[in-house]
Chain A
Amino acid sequence: MKISNVIFVMILALAVAFFLYAGDKNSFGFIHIFGLSMLFLMVFNLVGRKFKILKPYYVSKLNPLSIKHKLTRDIDLPKELLVPKIVEALKVSKYNVEDVDIVKGEVFAMSSVGWNSWGQNVYIDIEEINGISRMHFCSVEVHMAVDWGKNKKTYNTFIENFEASLVI
């Protein structure tokens, strides 16, 4: 967990606390605007995460409000075979595969929102280098600024299922 993220969450918690306890003041100050902004952001993330067009926003390093886990791995399979196997592994990992582009080598999947999860987005890009496919895996917790290890767990589960899918 990055220290900057912890500081950010602490500031956020303080801001929310101020917003709740400073309600008796009739002024519509900074704290109210900040609180409303956070509320807007939450709603925006709930709706916006479903759209692939917002991938650059969620994957960007400049977005500290959605913690992400990026990993790269070389796999000795052509793109045409790798993409269907990735889709298979994601489905076994209980992800909803939203978009697949074999030509571009892009896969977009989401986990649904539940009692123990705000949902995650998974973006996978594949590029071919000298006959070997390089897989760029990015797992994003859209509503979380702090990583409690869930993204890494997602990656490990996905890789386990991917390896298992290579047993034919």
Chain B
Amino acid sequence: MAIIVNLDVMLAKRKMKLNELSKEVGVSVVNLSILKQGKGKAVRFSTLDAICKVLDCQPGDILEFKADEPAKVSSKQD
């Protein structure tokens, strides 16, 4: 996927555990785990806002865009 979630990196930087963040943010551990693994369908602005407040960071610290590498096409030139 092109969007990478760096929540685990930010948690490590802040020396915080997922269940602590869950209590602070008010989102279940299961939902945060799904977000951390990048398996969620979407993120609400309210969730992002709460996470950024608790972790004292920017949305860009949590979400990162990495373009997918295009498939290499081998072609013969005459």
Contacts and interface: CB of A to CB of B under 8 A. Distances in A.
Contacts of A92: none
B39 A167 contact: no
B39 to A, nearest CB: 5
Interface in B28-45: 28, 30-35, 37, 39-44
Interface residues of A, number: 9
B54 interface: no
Contacts of B33: 81
Interface string B15-35: 000000000000110111111
A77 B34 contact: yes
A166 B30 CA distance: 10
Nearest to B40: A168
A76 interface: yes
Nearest to B30: A84
B58 interface: no
Contact of B42 (A76, A81, A85, A167): A167
Contacts of A160: none
Interface string A100-125: 00000000000000000000000000
Contacts of B40: 166-168
Given A76-B39, A77-B39, A166 B34 contact: yes
Interface of A: 76-77, 81, 84-85, 163, 166-168
- Which 7 interchain pairs have the tightest Cβ spacing? A166-B41, A167-B42, A84-B30, A168-B40, A168-B31, A168-B35, A166-B40
26 contacts: A77-B34, A77-B39, A81-B30, A81-B33, A81-B34, A81-B37, A81-B39, A84-B28, A84-B30, A85-B34, A163-B41, A166-B34, A166-B39, A166-B40, A166-B42, A167-B40, A167-B42, A167-B44, A168-B27, A168-B31, A168-B34, A168-B35, A168-B40, A168-B42, A168-B44, A168-B47
